[in-house]
Amino acid sequence: MTRRVVWMITFVGGLFFLLEFLLPEQAPDWLGGIKNPLTPYLGGVTNFLVVVATMAFLLGPFILVRRHVGTLVRRRQGWLESLVFVVFLGASLLAAALREEQVRSALSVLYDALFFGVLMAFFASSMALLAFYLASAAHRAFRVSSLEAGLMMAAAAIVLLGQVPLGDWLTQGLPKSLQLASVAQWILGVPNTAVQRAVMIGACGGAFAAGFRQWLGLGKGAA
C-alpha cells in the first residue's frame, strides 16, 4: 500500500512537471490564446519539493546528534570527539540563530570565529592538501610505460601548461598556432569535445530510460 502511494505521488508529480514544461506558455491565437493552466501551480508544487528536500537535509544532523549524544552519555570509545562535535554544533547553532547581522556582539564574534576561524580554515587546509597529493601521485604512479601512456602524459602536460600564463611565457617566441595555449585549446576543443559529446549522448539515453522507469514504477522495488 505504502509503495503504491509513493508511486502515485511520483507519477502525478512527474506528469505535472512534464506537462508544465512541454505545454507552451500561451497557446496560439487560433487556439484561443489560452495560458498554460499548470503554470500558476508551479510555485506551490516547487515549494513543496523544497520543503521535502529540507526535511531530508535535517535528517543528517538529526542522526549525527543522536549518535554522538548516545556515545557521550554512555561514555563509549570516542566520547571526546563526540563532545567536540556536540559543543561546536551547539555553539554554531546558537551564534547563527541569535546574532544580529548589523550589530557587533559577542555572538557575532563567536560566529565569525567558528565559521571563518575554524570551519573555513579546516576546509582550506583539506583542499590545499590535494596539491601535495597530486604532486606525490604524479611522481609515484604516472609511469610512461607504453606509447598510450606517453601520449596521455604529453597531452596532460600541454593542457596543464596551456591553461596558465607560464605556458604563454615559455612559448611566446613560437608562431601562434604552435604556442602551448593554442595547442591546449585544440586538444580541448576538438578531440576532447568529440569524446564528451559521445559520452553525453550515451549518458543522456541511460538517464532518460532510468527516469522513465522510475516515473512509471517499473524500477526495482516499485509497487
- Which residues of this chain interact with other proteins, rule CB under 8 A? 17, 21, 39, 42-44, 46-47, 49-50, 53-54, 56-57, 101, 115, 119-120, 123-124, 127, 131-132, 134-136, 138-140, 142-144, 153, 157, 160-161, 163-169, 172, 181, 185, 188-189, 192-193, 196-197, 200, 211
Q: Which residues contact 37 (CB under 8 A, 6 or more apart)?
A: none
Q: Is 75 helix (H, G, I), strand (E, B) or coil?
A: coil
Angstrom distance (rounded) from CA 141 to CA 164:
24
Q: Nearest approach, Cβ of 131 to other proteins (angstroms)?
A: 6
Q: Which is nearer to other proteins, 105 or 196 (CB)?
A: 196
Give least dist CB 153 to other proteins, A. 7
For 218, phi then psi, to 5°, come to -95, -5
| Residue 59 or 83 with smaller CB distance to other proteins | 59
Contact, 19 vs 38, CB < 8 A? yes
Nearer to other proteins, 94 or 214 (CB): 214
Which residue is associated with the grid cell 570527539?
81
**Residue indicated by cell numbers 512527474:** 14
Give the shortest CB-125-to-other proteins separation in angstroms.
Answer: 10
Residue 161 CB, nearest distance to other proteins (Å)? 6
- The nearest distance, CB 30 to other proteins, in angstroms, is 23
The gap between the terminal CA atoms of the chain, to the nearest Å, is 8
CB distance 143 to 152 below 8 Å: no
